[in-house]
Amino acid sequence: MSDIKRALVLGGGGVAGIAWETGVLAALADGGVDVTAADRIIGTSAGSAVAAQVTSGLPLPELLERQTDPARQTPELASGVPMEQLWATYQRIYESTPDPAEQRREIGAMALSAATVGEAERRAVIEARLPVHRWPERDLVIVAVEARTGEPRLFTADSGAGLVDVVAASCAVPGVWPCVSIDGVRYMDGGMRTITNADLAAGADRVVVLAPMPDLAEEPAWKGLAGKVEVIEPDAASAAAFGTDPLAPEVRTPSAEAGYAQGRALAARVAAMWS
């Protein structure tokens, strides 16, 4: 990544994370710093949807309106899975072995056996989220994880897979949404590698990381990046807007509005680092 000067990392965080990240990005741009013009964008889970949206050609104010205006919000499915139960399942697996690859394989086995909606029904939701269904002419990296092997996969425009399928794979929360089939391989949420995969921005001079949710790993993925790094995590108001279920469709408007307020407060600081 020696030729990458600026990178934008968009982490996972459910429906709330999509809305919050959109709000933060729109506010930063309104405050004079459009970080979506980064040389490389790395999207994981919710962040993959945001990455596809901000590289679609639609302006940030319109993308924000698609989150804040109920009349313009795309249909979402309720997860039907208690979040406390899901987090506890993940935590048990993480505590059962110190090997990250084995953790991912165990989570993948759980994901493959889970009773969920069908792939086609879930794909329709992702398709509706994306204003454009083709890969942008941008350096965009989307992270997913092979469910059976636990191996991460970094998808780009050169991967040969469709953008909608790749975003659906990156957003396939284990135990909630179905694993996604791409070329005969089943994929699950890219957040199972790390919630942001910010280490993939190594080599960039400046990195902005949006991290809607904490990582279950011992150290955040942005630790060790050599360049200037600005990490934006939800403040108290944003966390309150997320509520107890970041997958709930009704959290979109308050999460986007809280993200916008937070982004405006941070714009000057981010601008000083980014420029």
pLDDT of res. 1: 43
Q: Is residue 22 part of a domain?
A: yes
Spatial distance between the Cα atoms of 81 and 3, rounded to a whole number of angstroms: 43
Q: Is residue 151 part of a domain?
A: yes
Q: In this predicted structure, which of 111-115, 170-174, 219-223, 240-244 has the lowest mean pLDDT? A: 219-223
Q: Say which CATH number the domain at 35 has.
A: 3.40.1090.10
Q: Is residue 98 part of a domain?
A: no
Structure confidence by residue, pLDDT tens digits, 163-202: 999 999 999 999 999 999 999 999 999 999 999 999 999 9
Q: Is residue 214 part of a domain?
A: yes
Q: Is residue 173 part of a domain?
A: yes
Average pLDDT, integer, range 107-113: 97
pLDDT of res. 220: 85
CB atoms within 10 A of CB 210: 29
Structure confidence by residue, pLDDT tens digits, 197-238: 999 999 999 999 999 998 766 678 899 899 999 999 999 999
- Please list the active-site residues: 45, 189
pLDDT of res. 217: 65
pLDDT of res. 218: 61
Mean pLDDT across the chain, nearest whole number?
96
Angle at 70 between CA 69 and CA 75, to 5 degrees: 125
